[in-house]
Amino acid sequence: MALFAFSVAPMTGGESVSAAVAEAVRIVRESGLPNRTTAMFTEIEGDWDEVMPVIRAATDAVSAAGHRTSLVIKADIRPGAAPGQIDSKIARVEEHLAADDEQRGHS
């Protein structure tokens, strides 16, 4: 099991890359793998062999919009981890923050 965060965009002369990025996000969502998109990255969870072809297809789609493509990938590879880490990692941080707030007397 692994979590991947990636950012892919065409390197074009224009300012907006949102149409090309939207196509990449569509490919990720259609994969059926757990995912979320933020302003900076798209996160996707699954086995290496499941995720990498999705990232490749998303990159290929974006590459069609320009002659150069920027791709950044970060991975948290967790052999034996249970599925659902895309949400549970955030939940664990929120639990720590809530406990810290409670100890400090914040509500």
DSSP string, 90-104: HHHHHHHHHHHHHHH
pLDDT at 11 over 90: no
For 31-87, the DSSP string reads: TTS-EEE-SS-EEEEE-HHHHHHHHHHHHHHHHTTSS-EEEEEEEEE-TTPPS-HHH
Query: Within 10 A of 83 (CB to CB), how many other CB atoms are there?
Result: 13
What is the C-alpha separation between 58 and 63, in angstroms, rounded? 9
- Summarised one tens digit per residue, pLDDT across range 27-76 is 999 999 999 999 999 999 999 999 999 999 999 999 987 779 999 999 99
Domain layout of the chain by residue ranges: 2-80
Q: Phi, psi at residue 9, to the nearest 5°?
A: -155, 145
What is the C-alpha separation between 83 and 101, in angstroms, rounded? 29
Give the pLDDT score at 13.
Answer: 62
DSSP state of 8: E
What is the pTM assigned to this prediction?
0.86
CB-based contacts of 42, cutoff 8 Å, min separation 6? 5, 6, 7, 24, 25, 28, 35, 36, 58
Give the pLDDT score at 71.
Answer: 97
- What CATH fold (topology level) applies to the domain 2-80? Alpha-Beta Plaits (3.30.70)
